[in-house]
Amino acid sequence: MSEDKNRYGQTTGHVWDETLAELTNPPPKWWMLGLHASWILVVLYSLYYPTWPLISSHTKGLAGWTSISEFKKDMKEVEDVRAKYENKLPGMTAAAILADNELKNYVVRSAKVLFGDNCAACHGSGGAGNPGFPALVDDDWLYGGTIENIEQSIAMGRKGMMPKMGGAQLTDEEIDKLANAIYNGTVTKEPLYAAKGCIGCHGPDGKGMAALGSANLTDKIWRFKSKDQLASIKYTIKHGVNDPSDPKTRNAEMPSWKGRLTDTQIKKLAVYVHQLGGGQ
């Protein structure tokens, strides 16, 4: 094939359609340099890092790098940071953790997952509460809001008892009167409150007693929340709470976590719940 020249350079001599010629100019220098640099890079990379598949394994590379070892190294860094705090926790009371700002911040962060895994199903995400399960974000506590109270609630579990008051104890009319007074926050002024023995558990001021877990009946924060709150109050009075003699009684049981979670995990959760809202 004869080589031909046109004004753009060397051509293959082939002409299509009278004017179209194919040039044989070499590619520009910068392009060739790039081409060689890229294969050199491939060779160096494949020597350094694991690259080529073999029959049952792969080339290991001179660097000895694996994604697993990198992951383990990262994890170790995290563990080292954690260990600084974790090693202190077993020897400390929950109250002492609470008093140490740095430790408290660490514990609150690490307990968030624990709470999500073990508690949120009943108490709602972030402890906001669910129908039948008390909110943990407010400062209204059935069993008291000190760090010790909260730790005990978690470790030992809780099960409040209120006998059913419907039937022999109270007529429907009396239940209506008491329920309305509670709904309006004025129950201690209702004579039936003392006469029918509510006062023995809910206290002379109507604010409940932490030792019994009897709800505060004056603050309009509802332990058994409902869209129709007045009806819910009547229901509680009529059927009680955890009263085995009434099949319609309200069930309210906080399971015990001792033995299911470690003491340190329980401490962490107590600190977490305490700072959620109104720990005292």
Minimum separation from the CB atom of position 246 to ligand HEC (A) = 13
DSSP string, 76-138: HHHHHHHHHHHTTGGGS-HHHHHH-HHHHHHHHHHHHHHHHHHTHHHH-GGG--BTTB--SSS
26 contacts: CB under 8 Å, gap ≥ 6: 32
Q: Which of 224, 230, 243, 264 is close enough to bind ligand HEC by CB under 6 A?
A: 224
Kindly state the number of chain residues that form the binding site for ligand HEC, as judged by CB under 6 A: 48
Site residues (CB under 6 A) for ligand HEC, limited to 226-265 = 233, 236-237, 241, 252-255, 257
Binding segment toward ligand HEC, per CB under 6 A, in 9-17, 26-34, 46-54, 191-199 = 191-199
Q: Exposure string (b/e) for 176-203, b if CB count within 10 Å is 16 or more?
A: ebbbebbbeeebbebeebeebebeebbb
Is the dihedral angle over the CA atoms 133, 139, 140, 142 positive or is it negative? positive
Binding to ligand HEC by residue 143, rule CB under 6 A? yes
Is there a contact between 149 and 141 (Cβ–Cβ < 8 Å)? yes
For ligand HEC, the closer CB: 103 or 187: 187
Exposure of 6 in the CB half-sphere (CA atoms within 13 A): 12
Of 82-141, which residues contact ligand HEC (CB under 6 A)?
118-119, 121-123, 133-134, 136, 141
Q: How far is the CB of 101 from ligand HEC (least distance, A)?
A: 22
CA distances to 68, 106, 121 from 116, in Å? 28, 16, 8
Please identify, using beta-carbon distances, which residue of 11 and 180 lies nearer to ligand HEC.
Answer: 180
Q: Rank residues 51 and 169 by Cβ distance to ligand HEC and give the closer one.
A: 169
* Per-residue contact string for residues 152-181; x = within reach of ligand HEC by CB under 6 A: -xx---xxxxxx-x------------x---
CA-derived radius of gyration, the chain: 37
Q: Smaller CB distance to ligand HEC: residue 96 or 155?
A: 155
Which residues in this chain contact ligand HEC in the complex, by CB under 6 A? 118-119, 121-123, 133-134, 136, 141-143, 150, 153-154, 158-163, 165, 178, 182, 196-198, 200-202, 212-215, 217, 222-224, 233, 236-237, 241, 252-255, 257, 269, 273
